[in-house]
């Protein structure tokens, strides 16, 4: 498993705003801009990628999974 940041803004839609509101129902709403987006990916076991390497990553969108950042639970469509 590889954790990495992508220099891309957080996606904000009406759906994500509702999810965030539900997740923080007992807290005051706090919309803060996050620079970059955190991703977690798996690479082939034979990959020669090492910590600190700069690589180009191609995303297979058919195999993407999304998780609630607070609970870790899978978000299913």
The predicted pLDDT at position 23 comes to 65
Q: How far apart are CA 68 and CA 77, in angstroms?
A: 13
pLDDT tens per residue across span 13-72: 787 777 777 765 555 444 444 467 778 888 888 988 888 888 888 888 888 888 877 788
The predicted pLDDT at position 28 comes to 45
The predicted pLDDT at position 25 comes to 53
Instruction: Kindly write down the DSSP assignment for every residue of 6-56, as one continuous string.
Output: ESSPPP--HHHHHHHHHHTTTS-------SSEEEEE---TT----TT----
Q: What tokens appear for 21 in the block?
A: 């509101």
């Amino acid at each position: 498993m590889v954790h990495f940041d992508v220099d891309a803004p957080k996606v904000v839609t009406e759906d994500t705003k509702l999810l965030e509101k539900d997740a923080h129902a007992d807290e005051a709403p706090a919309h803060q801009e996050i620079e970059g987006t955190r991703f977690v990916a798996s690479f082939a076991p034979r990959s020669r990628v090492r910590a600190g390497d700069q690589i180009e990553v191609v995303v297979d969108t058919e195999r993407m999974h999304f998780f609630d950042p607070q609970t870790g639970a899978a978000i299913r469509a």
